[in-house]
Amino acid sequence: MNSKSERAGIVPHLVMGVMALYFLLPFWWLLVAATKDNDGLFLSAPLWFSDFHLIDNLKTVFSQENGIYLVWLRNSALYAVVSGVGATVVSALAGYAFAKLRFPGRTKLFALLLGLIMVPATALVLPTYLLMSKAGLVDSIWAVILPSLLNPFGVYLLRVYTHESLPDEMLEAARIDGAGELRVFTSVALPAMRPALVTVLLFSMVASWNNFFLPLVMLSDDHLFPLTVGLRTWYMSATLGNGGEALFNVIVTGALVAILPLIVAFLLLQRYWRGGLTIGAVK
């Protein structure tokens, strides 16, 4: 019996092993490649170490073009934090109102939101760019941050969560105690919404950190670029060889540095990632 159940486990584990190799291969390659100089990248075996140049590469990444990589890193962090926190605040206010406050037009507005959740973001980038340029906001941090504050799915998620997890009686009790509506929201509703808030925050921050199309279109000053757009310009000039300084080993190391914070955050906050996907999947 025991041997039979063990045998039943071997095939699934073999399949998982092969799939894990596939998913991890690019990471292994990146880690190895970041330790090589440009010649090593092209001349040595791709999946194993050769001469160790990681420290030199890191120095070059951070000093290239007067340290513009650090500017990009800072921009990515700024856009992610401001957009993430802003989108979460806006979604929390709206999600709470949709779930718990009665106001005229609520049902219609929510139906509108549900109808618009499926509008593809990429189709809006060009007209948003043109409108922003009329407003004189193009090529500023606001061109990237303001559109990212809109998160219809976050509103939907918080409405569903609040509706199910926050009893009306708790709000009513706080009101009878004389708390104003804002106070009821901050001291009764927000704590109850916390798990869903963390999920929305996490997802909007990551979406912003990973965003490419919007900043690509909105920004032309390379000192405003986030990492994604910045690394692409290095990659373009290295591949096309049009006079850019960046070499491939610098790009590879830059890519490694760019994904490290995400992977660390991902490992530390696993619970919330999966929580968010589960909420999204069940509803």
Partner 1 sequence: MTQVATRSAAAPAVAGPAPRFKRGREAAVGWLFVAPFVVLLVAFLLLPMAYALKLSLYRSTLIEGEHFAFFENYTQAFNDPLVREGVVRVILFGLVQTPVMIGVALLAALLIDHATSRFSRFFRLAAFVPYAVPVVIGTLMWGFLYSKDTGPLSAVLHVDFLSSNVVLASLGNVVTWQWAGYNMIVLYAALQGLPREVYESARIDGAGPAQIAWRIKTPMISSAIVLATLFTILGTLQFFTEPLILQPLNPGSITAHYTPNVYAFNQAFSFQQYNYSAAISFLLGAVVFVGSYVFLFATRKRSAL
User: In the range 75-104, which residues lie near partner 1 by CB under 8 A?
Assistant: 89-91, 93-94, 96-98, 101-104
* Single-letter residue type at 95: G
Minimum Å gap between C-beta 35 and partner 1 is 14
Residue 71 binding partner 1, by CB under 8 A: no
Token digits for 224? 């405003």
Residue 1 binding partner 1, by CB under 8 A: no
The SS3 call for residue 140 is coil
Residue 55 binding partner 1, by CB under 8 A: no
Site residues (CB under 8 A) for partner 1, limited to 110-139: 112-113, 116, 118-120, 122-124, 126-128, 130-131
Token digits for 144? 């990237």
Which residue's CB is nearer to partner 1, number 71 or number 231? 231
Site residues (CB under 8 A) for partner 1, limited to 228-257: 228-229, 231-232, 235-236, 239-240, 248, 251-252, 255
Applying CB under 8 A, among 227, 246, 250, 253 the residue interacting with partner 1 is 227
Residue 4 binding partner 1, by CB under 8 A: no
DSSP 156-200: HHHHHHHHHHS-HHHHHHHHHTT--HHHHIIIIIHHHHHHHHHHH
The size of the interface with partner 1 (CB under 8 A), counted in residues, is 101
Q: Which residues contact 47 (CB under 8 A, 6 or more apart)?
A: 28, 29, 32
Site residues (CB under 8 A) for partner 1, limited to 132-191: 146-147, 149-150, 152, 155, 167-170, 172-173, 176-177, 181, 185
Which residue's CB is nearer to partner 1, number 71 or number 188? 188
Name the one range near partner 1 by CB under 8 A: 49-57, 62-70, 191-199, 273-281.
273-281
Angle at 121 between CA 93 and CA 150, to 5 degrees: 15
Q: What separation in angstroms does the CA of 163 have from each of 100, 125, 216? A: 7, 33, 38
Minimum Å gap between C-beta 12 and partner 1 is 5
Which residue's CB is nearer to partner 1, number 62 or number 273? 273
Q: Which residues contact 207 (CB under 8 A, 6 or more apart)?
A: 148
Applying CB under 8 A, among 62, 142, 153, 273 the residue interacting with partner 1 is 273
Applying CB under 8 A, among 7, 12, 108, 243 the residue interacting with partner 1 is 12
Q: What separation in angstroms does the CA of 181 have from each of 24, 100, 226? A: 50, 11, 38
CA distance 228 to 255: 9
Is 207:262 a contact under the CB 8 Å cutoff? no
